[in-house]
Structure formats: C-alpha cells, structure tokens
Structure 1
C-alpha cells in the first residue's frame, strides 16, 4: 500500500460512529497505509492529500468484527467451504478476524500439517484468519499434541471442536501444558456416554417428531468437570457454543469462584429454540442443538450479566443435499457468519433488548480481549480493520447473495437491517456490497 515509498492515504467521508452514550454521530476517518491516522470532521484541514476518497453514505463504522469460532473446511471438505470462500463470506458479514477450527482432513496435529494450512491461509484468505491446533492427535481423546511445536508454527489456542475430550486425565494434562504455554484450551463440551444417539434436544419436539434426543446434561456435565480441572491447573478454559441453562449456571458459579473460564453463545441459540423447528429437517440440526425456551432465556440472561462473554457464530457449512435430509442422517451445523450482525441488530438492538454498544463489544471488543488479539479497536493509531453497516435499509436474507459455498441456515427469508456495506482489513477494502 505504498506509492514510491510514500504511504497511501484513504479518506472516508460521511460515516457515522457510535459514541459513548450509544448515539450515532457523523464522522470522517483518515487512514495512512494500514493505520487509522485521524478521526473527526473536516479532516481536509489536516493538510494531507488523499489518494482515495470513499463515501460511506451514512453507514455506521465499527471496529472489524471478530469471530473465534468458524469452520472453513479446508483441507478435506472443500465442497462445503474453502479458506477463500469462507474468508470472503466473513468479510461480507463485517468480520475482519476469524479463528478456524481444526476438524479438517488431515487434522493439523503436527507442525508440518499445521504449516500447510498456514500457507493456504496466507495465499487465499482475504481477512485475518487465526488457526486453532487440536488438543489431541486426530481429535481422539488419547495422545496430546506437541503444543510448543504447534505454537511455534502459529497456533494461538487449542481445541477439539466437534467432539468433546472424553478423558478427564487427558484434559487435565492438556490444561497443565496450556497453562505453562499461556494459551487457552477451547472446549466443545459433550460427554459421548450421555449421547444415546441423539440428533436434537431431548424435549417436547423430539418426542413429537419421534427422534432421539440429546440431554442437556451431555453438555453441562463436561463443563462442570472441566472448570474444576481449570481451577487445578490454572489454565484459561473457554467454553464453545453454550446452549443450556445448566451450563450457564455452572459457568456463573465457576466465575464467582475465581476460575479462569470464559464462554461464548451463538446467534442461533439466542434467536431460536426447539419450538421453532418445523419438522424433521436437517436445516435445523446443529450441535449443540436448539434447546428449550427456558434455556434460550437463560442464554440471554447469561450474556447480559457477563456469565457468557461474547457472541461467536460456529459457522458450519455443509453441502445442500446433506442438509436436506432427515435429522437422523444430516450432519450437524448451520452457516452464520454473513448474517450474524444483522440478525442480532434487528432482533435485539432494534427491539431495545440490548444496546448497539453491547452488541459491538460482544462481536468485536470482547473476543479480542479474551484471546488477546490485536483487533477490536477503532481509535487513532490502531490498525484499520473496519466494518461499515447500513442500519436503515431493510433487506431479506437471500442465499443467492451468500459468498459462502453453503447456505444451510434457517434464517433464509428473514427480514433484517444492518447488513454490511463495506469491510476493510489493514486499510484495504476487501468487500463492497454489490461488487
């Protein structure tokens, strides 16, 4: 982004910024190379000559969104998603940093395998992609990976997302090592011995559809085990996609006890419950499943009181035919990275359940803080990772607009405000609506 050794200057006009009292004010930004040089009004008075002028047309500008839980499916499942398509989908959603799960084929459980994914990210990603390493070899619950070697290759945290670590001793040893390395253990919490072949929440809807259910205790019991292991080892323990009221209760009590536990919740678990499932269709199959209405209420309460730290999408693309099948055979997961902000803004901010300030904190600042990432800030001197949202125009979520290779989501056809107009990474435009 340099011109003959000179820094490139981008002037963004007609934007709006969120103030400390949750109001929107007009703003201009000057970006020099990759950094925010100035924020204010009438910035032409600074005397810098802009190489590029961008009219934001009244959009809200925020720090780029951060999603610590996405599945990019590469290598091994590129018919579902690729690093290129998934990162572009993230940019369309206003995300400038995402963290990719390691349930790929092969699993990046050696330095060589991890380095191969890192190179693919470098070659193909249009935004910043941080790669998780697995906790154990092959995502099994026996042999620990070499954390130190994988950290040297760029691993920022460790997770077996997609499956729970079934052996307490394995998890204890992993946390002990993670504490030494000052990295987080990020857990998909699921006790396989309590699954009983379940494909959706064990509740009224599973009984109505005559489908095997997944008990709430399948998730919460492993969290209860792990928070005590975290206390014993001093490790940072992060819980993925919390879905039950029992899980919220365990995490709340662990935080009160001073245990270093953090947790995330997804937009789909905040927006939907088992009562919204229309029938036996794979589009509504996700892991953890959509729970009861009381669980849904507990998740929102937990987010509001700080028990749950932030929002993550668990973007999980699959092939069209796979998700059109019965819940019995369809894979778990829905996509979400392109619609998350708009859905949350429409159904929680516009309805005054939460503030816009809270939403931006949960989708940018807080995940950055929890994982000590260099993102989530909109200030002079910070990196120009920015998202621009149209808060006024109402649109229908249309699969034809998706940049992801997949469109397996129950939110197709929903009307929303707050879709992304433009996304910038390191001062460079990586997504423009309609382009």
Structure 2
C-alpha cells in the first residue's frame, strides 16, 4: 500500500518512508511477496501468536535480492557499462548476480575458496563471472575492492549503503501489510542491512497511526559484533569464532546500519550454535521449511527463551540457502541439542555376549540404535577390554536419562560424548 503524502523527513539516519516506498515499486519487478505462516507450535511455546515471514522462499533463496536489485537499478548508464563487482560467501553473491542479469549488467563475484559448491554453482548459473579468492570473506572483500579499483567496476556492498537498506526495508512494509497489528518483529543480524531497513521502515510507517512496534535483533553468539559496538557507541570489530551461521558472521557492523540500529532497534539478543541447530530441525519437522542457520536465528531466540512475548510476533526466516552436507551435520547437532540423539562410549569385557547384552538393554528401554563401532584398538585400553561406541535415537530428556540409567543399573559405565 503506497503512502500518498510526502514523508521525506525521517527520525532515523538513512532512507525516508518515501524512499522505502519507492524501493518497493522497484523491487517488485523481481522479488515476490513471500508467505507468512502462523506456527501453532511456536505460538504455544512463546505464549503469543508467532508468524513466520518465509523469505527463505524468496527468489535466489534469501532477502538479499531486494537490496541488490534496488542498488543496481539506481546505477547510471555509465556505471552499468563498467559492470559491478561483489564479494560474498553466498546470499549476497546470488542476489547481485541475479539482479545484474535482470538489468543487463555484467557482474563479477568474488567468493572464498572454500565456498559451498551449491552456492558457487547457483551464482555462476545467474550469469556472473565467479572468482575464487581468499580463505575467509575478509580476504575475498579485499580482492573485490582491488578488482573495482583496477577495472572501474562498481562495488556493491552487502549492507552498508542507503539503496541496499531501502531495498531490504521493503520486507518490513510487507509485514505491516499482512499483519497490521504486529507487536514484535524478530530479525537476524549480521552487518545490519536487513534489520536497519526493516526497523526504520516499520517504525516510520507505524508512527503514522500512532503505533509502536518492537524490533528485536538476533546475532549468533560466536559472531556478535553489535552488543560491544553499541556499548562502545561506535562500530567495533570483533574476532569471529567458528559458527554455522555464515550468513550473519560479520566482524564489524556497517557504519550507516549501526546508526539506524542504535536508534530504531529495541533489543539485541544472542543465540548459541545448538539453539540455531535446534531451530532448524524444528522448522523442518513442524513447518516443513528448509532454513539456513542464520535464517533460523529468530526462531532460535524464541525457543531459547531469549525473547519475551508481547502480542503478535513475526520472526523473519531470512534465507534458505544451505549446503546439503552442512544440513546433514546441523540436523545431527540439532537432534543432539534436543536430547533426541545420544552418543555413548562403553568399555566392555572382551568376551562373547557383551554386544548382545548392550543391545538387549537398549531394546528394553525402546532406544533405537543408529550406529555402532566395536573395536579392540585404542589408547588406554586394557587387553581384556573392547570399546563400544553406540549412537541411539531418544525421545527427549527423560528418555535420554532412562537409557543412561538402564546401562548403569546393569553394571556398565557409559561415557556420554557431550558431558
């Protein structure tokens, strides 16, 4: 719904409401309004209605197409002739490549050497020249910047640009159209492009009717640059720890994004790796949605109890581009985090019948065996011992404890791999 009156003044840095509305008309050429699905399970857990904004179902698999297309559409004829360049490990790469193809602009995309093959193939399939450079994204960004300086290609930033922010903010306008009485919106945060756009657009639109909407950002605990930056009063670079949420693993907030977040975002929380893995499994099972770890951060915050209920809540599923091999590992981690997958090491006497005895005990408590490794070779083992590594499916915390107790009651001393 377009705003008829002129709203060129904004209480925040960056785009005005008019500029968000203008971006919406541009982005509509390529981005579809994505579904919003009510989750009964999450609503019961949260104590308030939870609605999922399924941007994982967007073209190219994430919201990034919005900002990329809006930015590229603003380039002059001379800039378009020079081509564009971007650096990304995935979603931004695909967004820029797709937008460039639609606008007839040549794109060169730099990606890390270890980028997931599906993301590499998708980016190249959109017609971009893909260059593998650097082992981490920071090195890849440097290579892209050098290329821009050498060739004159226009560097398209992933989050720190008004046109990018305006494009991402169109998602916020969609949320208000679909859920006009929304009370809270939960947004994943990396550099801040999505949350700065969504927060500014929603708060400016809501203010027209005298309403307020709470905006909560979620970062991976191993890549949380915003809390220390807000505490310091300026964008602060952090050292990243390994995280499955590569889509929001950013060392330093964008300068403009930081200014908007500081004024327009009400709270920022962090979630663990287990929290995100657990959320991904839940979304697969309950909502039948494939969501990447970064995209599941908002749901992870709900499940972890990091967000308090306050009326209708929209959680943005920001992307669904995940390497199948990573998905396999994350599902295993998510099941373990939910006490539905148990790995045990048991030292057994080296005599006939012991393996059968363990199988009998596990069957007696209805634990399904997934994998078994039985070996006589290992450091610290006595000659009269064998080592049994067994993985079983469990139905939750109580059943997990029942399995362990049954083995101990039978005289065994199982070692649980996460204790």
TM-score by length of 1: 0.29
The structure that is helix-richer by fraction is 2
RCO comparison, higher one (Cα < 8 Å, 6+): 1
TM-score, structure 2 normalization: 0.30
Larger Rg computed on CA atoms: 2
